[in-house]
Amino acid sequence: MVTFEGMRVFVKVAEAGSLSGAARLLGLTPSAISRQISALEDQLGAQLFNRTTRKIALTDVGRGYLERCRRILADVEEASEAVTSLNATPRGPLRVNMPAVFGRLHIAPALGAFMRQYPDITLDVEMTDQFIDPMAEAVDVLVRIAELKDSSLIARKLASSRRAIVASPAYWSERGVPKEPRDLMQHDCLLYSYLAAGEHWRLTGADGVEQAVHVSGRMRVNNVSTIRYAALDGLGVAMMPTWFVGEDLRVGRLQAVLNDYAAPAPPIYAMYPPSRHLSPKVRAFVDFLSGLFSPAPRWEAGAPLAPRARGASAA
């Protein structure tokens, strides 16, 4: 009969990518790990790994089995934690998935404080922009910047997000500052391939009227970091999330215009499967994240001022 320990060893080998790596994580010898994997394959009557002298890789059967093992082990762990969740100290492994750039800028610097506050938690962080199924991947907390669709996940809003129309001071000085959205049609705009609106930037004024402006430019990129560098270098106008360029705006490397208009931007959420809602470690991490962005996210500190348009007189 397949045991939970056999599943646990199998998952560690798959995640480590080697017998020796799994052995270090589990405090066992590589030979002991190898025996357990062989015994598991004999019990299942299937080969889970392709082995060579240099590497070990999952078979197609192994990949499918890995997802099921992760779910089963996560459910067993949650069932154990639920018994004493009301007064339990947050402890155990915590798997977190977050967007790469946002996580690096706004969550990674605070992880040390979280680890010191909760010394019994071991943290496994993955940074990727691809939306994953946390149940299939056995992820405890998923941080995403997105408009939520119907989902079985529990979501807690961490912060609002907004986009700003930005360029370098040198660019505005040379090309002039737009006074209204349609003026953007006369500018070189830096286009983000993954922006849902594409080449139609949607801006809503204080009167609630939305304007869709068709923009164009000589540069299209599928990476926000590259767009930021191009904007800093004076190559054009970008529509960027303030969580990404907030520091640039604060110190004046970039300047925002059309600040009386709002561009649609999805909120920032912490999401987790319903089975995790009683887990002290999940509750502790989500509360910690919420505290990072409350009462207002730090990237909004020091509201950026738009440069004066050409011909405008000083007050």
Give the tens place of pLDDT for each residue, 33-55: 999 999 999 999 999 999 876 77
Which residues of the chain are in CATH 3.40.190.10 domains? Answer: 92-157+267-300
Q: Please state, in angstroms and rounded to a whole number, the distance separating the CA atoms of residues 92 and 299.
A: 32
C-alpha atoms less than 13 angstroms from C-alpha of 76 in its C-beta half-sphere: 11
Dihedral sign, CA of 15, 122, 157, 198?
negative
Give whole-number Cα distances, 232 to 105, 171, 248, in Å: 18, 9, 9
Q: Which fold has domain 163-257?
A: D-Maltodextrin-Binding Protein; domain 2 (3.40.190)
pTM metric for this prediction? 0.67
CATH code for the structural domain at 92-157+267-300: 3.40.190.10
Which residues of the chain are in CATH 1.10.10.10 domains? Answer: 4-83
Flag the least confident range among 20-29, 88-97, 108-117, 291-300: 291-300
Give the tens place of pLDDT for each residue, 96-142: 999 999 999 999 999 999 999 999 999 999 998 777 777 667 789 99
Q: Please state, in angstroms and rounded to a whole number, the distance separating the CA atoms of residues 122 and 96.
A: 11
Partners of 214 in the β-ladder: 200
CATH code for the structural domain at 4-83: 1.10.10.10
**pLDDT at position 150 over 90:** no
Q: Please state, in angstroms and rounded to a whole number, the distance separating the CA atoms of residues 75 and 67.
A: 12
